[in-house]
Amino acid sequence: MSAEGMSGKTFFSRDGCLFPEISYDKLIPTAPFLKAANQILPLFDRLGSGYIIVKNDVHGNIKKLEQKQSMNPELYVSLNAMLKDEATKKDSTQAQSGVLWLKRGIDYFCTLFEILMSDKEESTYLEPCLKAAYTQVLKPYHGFIVQQVFSVLSKLSPYKSQFLIKLKEDKSVDNDLVYDEMEVYIKLLRSNIVVLNDILKENGLESDDKTD
């Protein structure tokens, strides 16, 4: 399935939900990227009310980047330009911090969906998938307290089958459509994450600092 053939009947094909396609110059357009990032926020609600803390953190990083873009919309038309300008001037870490933690947040969901795509057994709990995604993406950057919070949240997760239902905008569609559109979604999302990693490394903005 191509992006053009998306149905609008699942979470992954809602208007503005898809992350931008990466062009040959590997520029990530700021506005479409942030629009798609905002569309991720309802996913936290679908995992459970306990994820409100995580949702607010991701939303805060999106706001950082929206505020930064508003300072110079013409210059910051791409995240590449925004990060390069900040790395050159060394007068702020707003874009670095926002991109770094937002990238990790969306990578968490991207990895979760990749795990779901690799094992479609729906009679099991979502917990092992959430834990695997967390261990791979976020755990290295979290202190003990935050790690414990995520451990508790994952235990409260629904069955995979229940989560798939929550990913349907039209409850009448079958799970095959959810997986088909999920595949298109994560392909675009992963390509954006790969480029963000490259940009951060090129500008010396990657960090292994932990948050408590």
**CATH code for position 43:** 1.10.3520.10
Q: Is 175 part of any domain? A: yes
Q: Is 17 part of any domain? A: no
Q: What is the pLDDT of residue 134?
A: 93
Q: What is the pLDDT of residue 113?
A: 95
Instruction: Give pLDDT < 70 ranges for the chain.
Output: 1-7, 208-212
- Count of domains for the chain: 1
Q: What is the pLDDT of residue 31?
A: 96
Phi and psi, residue 48, nearest 5°: 140, 155
Q: What is the pLDDT of residue 206?
A: 77
Q: Is 210 part of any domain? A: no
| 59 C-beta neighbours (distance < 10 Å), count | 17
Q: Which structural domain range is residue 99 located in?
A: 26-202
Here the tokens at position 162 are 């229940």
Here the tokens at position 77 are 């038309």
The strand pairing partners of 142, in sequence order, are 211
- Which amino acid would we find at residue 32? P
Here the tokens at position 70 are 């508003």
Q: Is 92 part of any domain? A: yes
User: pLDDT by residue (tens digit) across 43-91?
Assistant: 988 888 888 888 999 999 999 999 999 999 999 999 999 999 998 988 8
CA distance 117 to 113: 6
Q: Is 109 part of any domain? A: yes
53 burial via Cβ count (<10 Å: 0-12, 13-18, 19+) = exposed
Q: Is 14 part of any domain? A: no
H-assigned helices in the chain? 30-47, 52-71, 79-89, 94-118, 127-137, 144-155, 160-166, 175-202
Q: Is 211 part of any domain? A: no
Q: Is 12 part of any domain? A: no
